[in-house]
Amino acid sequence: MSKTVAFIGLGNMGGPMAANLVEAGFRVQGYDLSEDLLNAAAERGVEKASSATNAVAGARYVITMLPSDAAVESVYIDGTRLLAHIPEDALIIDCSTVSSATSKRLATQAKQRGLRAIDAPVSGGVAGAAAGTLSFMCGGDAEDVDSARELLSAMGANIFHAGAAGAGQTAKICNNMLLAIHMAGTAEALQLGVDNGLDPKVLSEIMLKSSGANWSLEKYNPMPGVMENVPASRDYSGGFQVQLMSKDLRLAQDTANASNSHTPLGSLVHNLFGLHGKMGNAGLDFSSIQQLFSRKIG
Ligand code: NAD
């Protein structure tokens, strides 16, 4: 059985994910709009394709790791029309975080062409992508999710089946709404401590062993200088951009409106990250929300 994988979208997440597939012995045909990213992937063993259409030639799996609903729809359906070029027995795995509606549309359109598609958004950040420890939240038919497990295991440590097409996306936006809330809360608490004379390293150690402990504090401290190897300690570069978090928070609000759910904290962080992005920070890592609290007023 061919182990050729087409990988489209080789950015902060897709680049290291594709490299892990190469290391696991898959043949990876990669494509990205950025020539620089394509070259960087080639240095790690990814074969460069000159277009998305060329990348899927002979592929058993097609993975996309794209920034938005518009990009996913444009690649598969409306623009490049990749669905018309994907080999019949291939499995489509969209790892981008997009709306549940887009995932359902992709699954339906794929089915109409005799193809199989699952949504498989991820959690774990750039560090998790590099270490191959991502969590995948899959939506689609159980057999299709099962047939993706070997491949996904080369990039992640946890593979969940959340439900039918689009369910992976619903799980993902619930997770990211909570992530945004505890990141903003962590930044706010750290700044309160610093403003009152505490060393942020000491305060972080205290809260990590106390009831304020959370993932942002433990793995992704937003205060510069507290942790090595996190975006806060490299001027908030790399990582997960504010504009991508804002997109996820908008998806969460859309979902809440559709189900008449009340998400006051989700609404608050949607506004906080949106404003922070508009203040010139859209391309920074989302932990830069710390700057909103550390900015001196007056
Ligand atoms: P990114 O901007 O670094 O990468 C996206 C890549 O897609 C870019 O390199 C871009 O050139 C490429 N691209 C866009 N349109 C394309 C097209 N038509 N054809 C080929 N390539 C195209 O973003 P990222 O941080 O890697 O995030 C990708 C997805 O993963 C997003 O949906 C994001 O929400 C999600 N995500 C990101 C993180 C994270 O920590 N960065 C974590 C979990 C999930």
Per-residue model confidence as pLDDT tens for the chain (298 residues): 458 999 999 999 999 999 999 999 999 999 999 999 999 999 999 999 999 999 999 999 999 999 999 999 999 999 889 999 999 999 999 999 999 999 999 999 999 999 999 999 999 999 999 999 999 999 999 999 999 999 999 999 999 999 999 999 999 999 999 999 999 999 999 999 999 999 999 999 999 999 999 999 999 999 999 999 999 999 999 999 999 999 999 999 999 999 999 999 999 999 999 999 999 999 999 999 999 999 776 5
> Does the Cβ of 13 fall within 6 Å of ligand 1?
yes
Residue nearest to ligand 1 atom 12, measured at CA: 9
Average pLDDT taken over every residue of the chain: 96
Shortest-distance Cα residue to atom 17 of ligand 1: 33
C-beta 97 within 6 A of ligand 1: yes
Please report the beta strands in the chain, taking only residues with DSSP state E, as ranges in sequence order.
4-8, 27-31, 47-48, 61-64, 91-94, 116-119, 122-123, 134-139, 156-163
- Residue 37 Cβ inside 6 Å of ligand 1? The answer reads yes
Q: Is 30 in the pocket of ligand 1 (CB under 6 A)?
A: no
Question: How far is the C-alpha of 143 from the C-alpha of 192, rounded, in Å?
Answer: 50
Q: Is 172 a catalytic residue?
A: yes
Rounded to whole angstroms, the Cα distance separating 298 from 293 reads 14
Tell which residue, 115, 143, 118, has the closest CA to residue 64.
118
* Atom 31 in ligand 1: residue holding the nearest Cα: 67
pLDDT score, position 254: 97
How far, rounded to the nearest angstrom, does the alpha carbon of residue 103 sit from its chain's CA centroid? 15
Q: Which domains are assigned to the chain?
A: 4-164 (3.40.50.720), 170-294 (1.10.1040.10)
The rounded distance, in Å, linking the Cα atoms of 84 and 24 is: 29
Cα–chain-centroid distance for residue 100?
14
139 within ligand 1 shell (Cβ under 6 A): no
pLDDT of residue 1: 44
Q: Which atom of ligand 1 is nearest to the CA of 75?
A: 18
Closest Cα to atom 37, ligand 1: which residue?
A: 240
Confirm or reject: Cβ of 56 under 6 Å from ligand 1: no
- Is residue 230 in contact with ligand 1, taking CB distance under 6 Å? no
What's the 12 CA to ligand 1 centre distance in angstroms? 7
* Active-site choice (3, 104, 111, 172): 172
Q: What is the pLDDT of residue 2?
A: 52
CB atoms within 10 A of CB 103: 28
Q: CB count, 10 Å around CB of 1?
A: 5
Contacts of 108 (CB under 8 A, 6+ apart): 165
- Specify the residue with its C-alpha closest to ligand 1, atom 44: 122
Whether the complex's predicted ipTM surpasses the cut of 0.90: yes
